[in-house]
Chains A and B, each alone.
Chain A
Amino acid sequence: MKPAKFDYYRPKDVSEALSLLESSGFDGKIIAGGQSLVPIMNMRLATPQCLIDINSLHDLNFIDSDDQTLKIGTMTRQNTVETSELVKSQCGLVTEAVAHIGHLQTRNRGTIGGSIVHADPSAELPLVLMALNGTLHISSEEETRTVKAEDFFLTFLTTDMMPNEMLTEIHLPIWKGRVGSSFQEVARRHGDFALVAAACQLELDAHDKISDIRLALGGVEAIPLLIEDAKELLAGEKITDQAVQKIAELVGSSVEPESDLHASATYRTQLAKVLTARVLYQAYERAKG
């Protein structure tokens, strides 16, 4: 048998899960879709003593929205999110991004929350969450709190969550008006983790000028990188070749990716510039309609 021994619990509701998390302390680990956790357990890179399976917490498997917010339960499978008409109409950036996560067979099992908590620097969902500055709802036995995406990711595979806490819901703001978004990535093979990915959402006024924009990149730093200056540089502007050039240069000079077996730092920087340009053009065209 490949993984090390562990005790297995399948709580029936959230409060039972939280009390198990509390009592197991640093030895406990939640298993959601298992698509990131089980590979590392099979390789014995992780040897949790106690596995808390949240697959029976059906209350955390939902997609819902009100006027301003799209709400997704942490246990919602990536495939369910990918095929949801509600997600597509309220937050198309998510639909576009999810299709890039692994393969059909892993999306059938992998969850939206698992991907966010796992916090791989190249992962699609953390990037979209950062691009839209979504809000995470987190519970422990003592308290329930919310954290903004901008404060959630700390470094490689590390978030603001404590071992006794569980992510329950992800909230994404719904943009109204003339909105366009775009998600683009380059990976060596379809389904691989992205070498670099870019996500953009923008809003136009009646004169096709940008009134709001969020631009973020994945795979270039330890956590998804928000290009904060994009808004300042582009507010009140149209997307022209010069404007795109300016942002691409800014991105090129502000990212500091690492070289690894998959791509050199120089190549990643080049991809960051190219993908920035592509998402800006595409989001703009889509917003114009």
Chain B
Amino acid sequence: MSLTEVNVTINGKSYSEWVEPRMLLSDFIRETCGLTGTHVGCEHGVCGACTINMDGLAVRSCLIFAVQADNCEITTVEGLACSGELTALQKNFIECHGLQCGFCTAGILMSITDFLEKNPQPSVKEIKETLSGHLCRCTGYEGIVKAVEKTVQDNNKEVLQRS
């Protein structure tokens, strides 16, 4: 079998490409679509750098073949900000020193965005459990946990103000 067609929507834009079945979704996103915000570290599911959102779930793009994403909706880190405006979580990563080199950041943002949508009031333990799926060699995680906690607090304030 040579090439297979993939039709996929990434950050609201449709892509229609012919790929080898063995092409990983992470490589498809980076190399075929040119969206290099998604990073690739271990390519066996451990580091979390390649995490994206596919059909509403945070998943490892290095453990999915591009052909499997046919007819799926994908969001990558490039799709988080809305007309250039960073999300509250992204801003808090900057403010709380949640990143240094930034290699792990895209994956963590994708996981935490999904996590906070489903669990808007997480405990610190739950935040740490979710982060256990990501390796960061720089920060020591403190700043990352703070950035997530601050986002939860900011969201709470916003809800209070609205009510």
Contact = CB atoms under 8 A, between A and B. Distances in A.
Nearest to A104: B130
Interface stretch (B60-68, B79-87, B88-96, B137-145): B60-68
Given A1-B27, A8-B67, A105 B22 contact: no
A108 B23 contact: no
A77 B63 CA distance: 15
Interface string B84-113: 000000000000000000000000000100
Interface string A43-54: 100000001010
Interface residues of B, number: 30
A39 B64 CA distance: 10
Interface residues of A, number: 30
Contacts of B154: none
B23 A1 contact: yes
Interface in B52-82: 57-60, 62-65, 67-68
A252 interface: no
A102 interface: yes
A2 interface: yes
Given A105-B59, A190-B129, A34 B64 contact: yes
B132 A35 contact: no
B76 to A, nearest CB: 14
Contact of A35 (B1, B27, B45, B51): B45
A183 B51 CA distance: 29
Given A6-B22, A104-B115, A105-B133, A38 B64 contact: yes
Interface in B35-63: 43-45, 48, 51, 57-60, 62-63
A173 B65 CA distance: 36
Contact of B132 (A1, A51, A109, A190): A190
Contacts of A43: 44
Nearest to A53: B68
A108 B117 CA distance: 15
A8 B51 contact: no
A163 interface: no
Interface in B1-34: 1, 4, 20-24, 27
A42 B44 contact: yes
B132 A191 contact: yes
Contacts of B64: 34, 38, 109
B103 to A, nearest CB: 17
A39 B60 CA distance: 11
B51 A105 contact: yes
Interface of B: 1, 4, 20-24, 27, 43-45, 48, 51, 57-60, 62-65, 67-68, 111, 115, 128-130, 132-133
Q: Which 5 A-B pairs have the closest CB atoms?
A: A103-B133, A8-B21, A39-B44, A7-B1, A108-B57
30 contacts: A1-B20, A1-B23, A2-B22, A3-B24, A5-B22, A6-B22, A8-B21, A8-B65, A10-B67, A34-B68, A35-B45, A35-B60, A38-B44, A38-B63, A38-B65, A39-B44, A39-B45, A102-B45, A103-B133, A104-B129, A104-B130, A104-B133, A105-B58, A105-B111, A106-B63, A106-B133, A108-B58, A109-B63, A109-B64, A190-B129
